[in-house]
Homo-oligomer: A and B are copies of this chain.
Amino acid sequence: MAATTTAKPANRIAVCIIGDEVLGGKTKDTNSHFVAKLCFAAGLSLKRVVVIPDDEADIVRTVRELSHDYSHVITSGGIGPTHDDITYDAIAKAFNADLVRHEETITRMVRIGQARTPDVPFELNPGRIRMAMLPSPSKVSFPCSDLWVPVVSTGEKQNVHIFPGVPRLFQQLVTRFVEDTIVPNTPGLKKFIRKQVATIKMESEIMATLTKWQEKADADGKGTRVGSYPKYTPVKMKDALTGEEQDARVVISVVGTDDAEIDIVLRGIQSELGAFEVAEEEAKL
């Protein structure tokens, strides 16, 4: 069911990380950064990341708001079997859905679980059954054939997609789901391109140049964005053309979907500042 776009752009993604362990500093969230890179590569616009506790009222309020404000909401965490895993339950409450035992999930869980430890009889205990009690109505999909974990899409717009928090599972499932479901249903996507230059000058000295080129790009209306990121103490960077190591204090990036315009803006900035070109790899330093 492809959504027909009307007023709001169909390309606004939000991520909702659910978990006391992240807010308590015990666990570092890596899932949102993974989605950020995935969206960037696909041409999807990640517009918001929210991290909230395992708290029913907070989950209810947050997923309602995000579902209303964004085209797709990707949640992570809280779908395990224990008492603090309340994501299915809370999201069902948020959209007045029920929790219904999903037989295909049970079947896959038993089959894949049993295959993993063939010597031990697979016990369908209450904890495991709990993981198959899914919000209904919803659309349930299994993006990876070797994983039993379902991706549940629910809410009035069926745009809240529920993923596990465990990074290895999250990454596999979300990659397939974005590529197989979100991308094909978002017409007109163009991949983002990011090109970068670096300079030994300080941000306060290059402001006028960057502003000028951003205004030029704005006038074209193609959404090209000029950004600058200071390195407080200069770092060594390799000039992409000469291979020479140079000091850099600011990395300037030009991001957009129009390669030709990006090149014009980048070359303009580069020549005005005497900046040097950097490869993506170096720019991450």
Given the contacts A82-B207, A228-B82, A36 and B50 also touching, CB distance less than 8 Å: no
Instruction: Tell me the residues in window 15-57 of chain A with beta carbons closer than 8 Å to chain B beta carbons.
Output: 17, 20-29, 32-33, 36-40, 46-53
- B40 and A47: CB pair below 8 A? no
- B25 and A36: CB pair below 8 A? yes
Bound Cα distance A80, B203 (Å)? 8
Bound Cα distance A80, B249 (Å)? 13
- B253 and A207: CB pair below 8 A? no
Give chain A's interface residue range (CB within 8 Å of chain B): 35 or more
Copy total for this chain = 2
A211 within 8 A of B: yes
Cβ–Cβ < 8 Å partners of A84 in chain B: 210, 214, 225-228
**A228–chain B nearest beta-carbon distance, Å:** 5
| A interface residues, Cβ below 8 angstroms from B | 17, 20-29, 32-33, 36-40, 46-53, 58, 80-84, 125-128, 130-131, 166, 168-169, 192, 194, 203-208, 210-211, 214, 225-230, 232, 253, 255, 283-284
